[in-house]
Amino acid sequence: MSRMRLGVIVSLSEGPAEAIEKVHALGFPTCQVTCWNPDLYTREAAVQLRARAKQLGVEVTTIWAGMPGRYVWDLIEGPDTIGLVPEAPRPGRLQALKRGADFADWVGVPSITTHVGFIPDNPSDPLYAGTVRALKEIAAYCADRGQAFWFETGQETPVTLLRTIEDIGADNLGINLDPANLLLYGKANPVDALDVFGPYVRGVHAKDGEYPTDGRHLGVEKPLGQGRVNFPALLAKLAALGYQGAITIEREISGPQQTADIVAGKRFLEEIIASL
């Protein structure tokens, strides 16, 4: 019997209490709270988030901390704009991540997560050394607060992510596996990726999609069960690895169709988990 629990991503920008109420209304026991604006990381918001989560019995499994500045979600400008890899925005982004860690500490959430970016496959690339230095700094900052730092997958190959984790050498590092991202960026089959970094997986996004079909744009994100992610195989492999974290639904559209796809996705995953 699997102990995996379902969740959904909500945004702090919806309002801390409102975000938790949405999770509860959709019938999920867990969530990840995302935030791209560090100015929202206030003590007041932390108190409200923590109180409403406790009242409604919702567990916040990570603060998904976006960082400021220009991000281009494609294969051309993505390497120069996403995460901690680009050098110019790195110091400011590191500061934003630390504010996210402070906020997680106030809420009592044991991890933060972000996209580190297109980590260079070549370990001699100066951008690699700089990125690893920045990651050592945020890992230590999280460790001081009793937190883990989780890598959101997608822009790097699984083996490059594994090498990065080895080179940082901290014991509070984990992976938030987004299986669709590995496809969307053309980096790996997500089921096979577990052979490389499976023991590090602490969080999972339930998101679906396809490989790129040209060299410039990401593959297309799809509703759960309609893309190329083999969820029965993925969840069975996670169960075999002893994974007991959350399975957090992510659907990157907005409006009523997003809610409809989340509700349908919840049923889709419940059936698979019940069969494990």
Q: Compute the Cα dihedral for 159, 161, 167, 173 and give only its sign.
A: negative
Which residue number, 46 or 182, has a Cβ lying nearer to Mg ion?
A: 182
Which residue number, 128 or 197, has a Cβ lying nearer to Mg ion?
A: 197
CB of 1 to Mg ion, least distance (A): 27
Q: Which listed range, 76-84, 96-104, 134-142, 245-253, lies at the site for Mg ion (CB under 5 A)?
A: 245-253
Which residue number, 46 or 175, has a Cβ lying nearer to Mg ion?
A: 175
Maximum Cα–Cα distance across the chain? 50
CB of 151 to Mg ion, least distance (A): 11
Residue with smallest beta-carbon separation from Mg ion: 178
Which residue number, 105 or 250, has a Cβ lying nearer to Mg ion?
A: 250
CB of 9 to Mg ion, least distance (A): 8
- Residues 123-162 as x/- pattern, contact with Mg ion by CB under 5 A: ----------------------------------------
Q: Which of 52, 90, 205, 251 binds Mg ion (CB under 5 A)?
A: 205
Residues 189-206 as b or e (16 or more Cβ within 10 Å = b): bbbebbeebbebbbbbbb
CA distance 195 to 237: 9
CB of 91 to Mg ion, least distance (A): 25
Which residue number, 46 or 194, has a Cβ lying nearer to Mg ion?
A: 194
CB of 111 to Mg ion, least distance (A): 14
Give the pairing of strands 208-209 and 148-152.
unpaired
Q: How many residues bind Mg ion (CB under 5 A)?
A: 3
Q: Quick check: 95 and 57 in contact, CB under 8 A?
A: no
Q: Which listed range, 16-24, 199-207, 233-241, 252-260, lies at the site for Mg ion (CB under 5 A)?
A: 199-207
CA distance 271 to 276: 9
Closest CA relative to residue 246, chosen from 266, 226, 222: 266
CB of 230 to Mg ion, least distance (A): 17
- Binders of Mg ion in range 161-180 (CB under 5 A): 178
* 93 makes contact with Mg ion (CB under 5 A): no
What's at 232, amino acid-wise? Answer: P
Q: Which listed range, 159-167, 225-233, 243-251, 253-261, lies at the site for Mg ion (CB under 5 A)?
A: 243-251
What is the three-class DSSP state of 2?
A: coil
Residue 196: C-alpha distances to residues 41, 62, 163 (Å): 35, 23, 10
Closest CA relative to residue 179, chosen from 107, 234, 111: 234
Q: Quick check: 194 and 233 in contact, CB under 8 A?
A: no
Residues 6+ apart with CB under 8 A from 137: 94
> Which residues contact Mg ion (rule: CB under 5 A)?
178, 205, 250
